[in-house]
Amino acid sequence: MNLTEDIKKEILDHAKEESPKESCGLIIIKKGRTRYKKCKNIAELPKHTFVLATDDYIKADEEGEIVGVVHSHPFEQPLPSDGDKIACEKSQVPWYIVNPQTEKWGYYEPSGFELPYVGRKFQFGIIDCYSLVRDYFKKELNLHLKDYYRVDEFWKKGQNLYEDNFMNEGFRKVPLEEIQKHDVLLIHLESNLPNHAAIYVEDQQVLHHVQGRLSSRDVLGEYYIKNTAFVARHKSL
């Protein structure tokens, strides 16, 4: 969908108002007319990413049909990152990106984009160890795990999200000595609660994504074994 010059001006003005933070908003159709709805960016690091406020999304959805997502890249070219592409695929509507300094525009629409297992750039809550587990189970086993909302360092807030949610998804605990292909190791990295997940892919190899690193396939070494809280196996296996 092509945006009118008036809508583009609204978006650009909003982006300049919010800079150096990323702005965000929604394109809706109300009574046959296209409108732009400003939204709050509630991300913990709003200069580098955006999280659209749930209340704003609900209000926009009640007001009209959501047909697009908008955000700005104050310091970068208006090209979709891998995180943008993944989130766009989930939203199933086009995404519009603008740089408030250069006033240049970018565009991306759902096209079936998938990330490879290895070499992913970490972005908590979007491209992280749990999203790798979800993608693996969907592609390799045709199992669709729920995408739970998670905030960075949830374990420091006393939330045991991994243990609780893996059990909710039909996993059960098995002894480490009985580990087999497709099992998931729930690991605590500098934490008393599990805060990392790794998929056992056979031959003492795990597929995982550690924060601050690219996703990788590594040897299941002594460090990860020592810090494994438990091994989880899906009920279908």
Catalytic residue among 129, 144, 182, 234: 129
* Annotation marks residue 129 as catalytic: yes
Distance CA 237, CA 233 (A): 7
* Annotation marks residue 71 as catalytic: no
* Annotation marks residue 209 as catalytic: no
Distance CA 195, CA 183 (A): 16
Please state, in angstroms and as integers, the Cα–Cα distance from residue 10 to each residue in 24, 30, 98, 99, following that order.
Answer: 12, 17, 12, 13
Catalytic residue among 14, 71, 182, 208: 208
| Bridge-based pairing state of the strands 95-98 and 65-72 | parallel
CA atoms within 13 A on the CB side of 110: 10
| Closest by CA position to 25, among listed 66, 82, 85 | 66
Catalytic residue among 14, 71, 73, 196: 196
Whether 211 and 128 have beta carbons less than 8 Å apart is answered as yes
Which residues are marked as active site?
Answer: 129, 196, 208
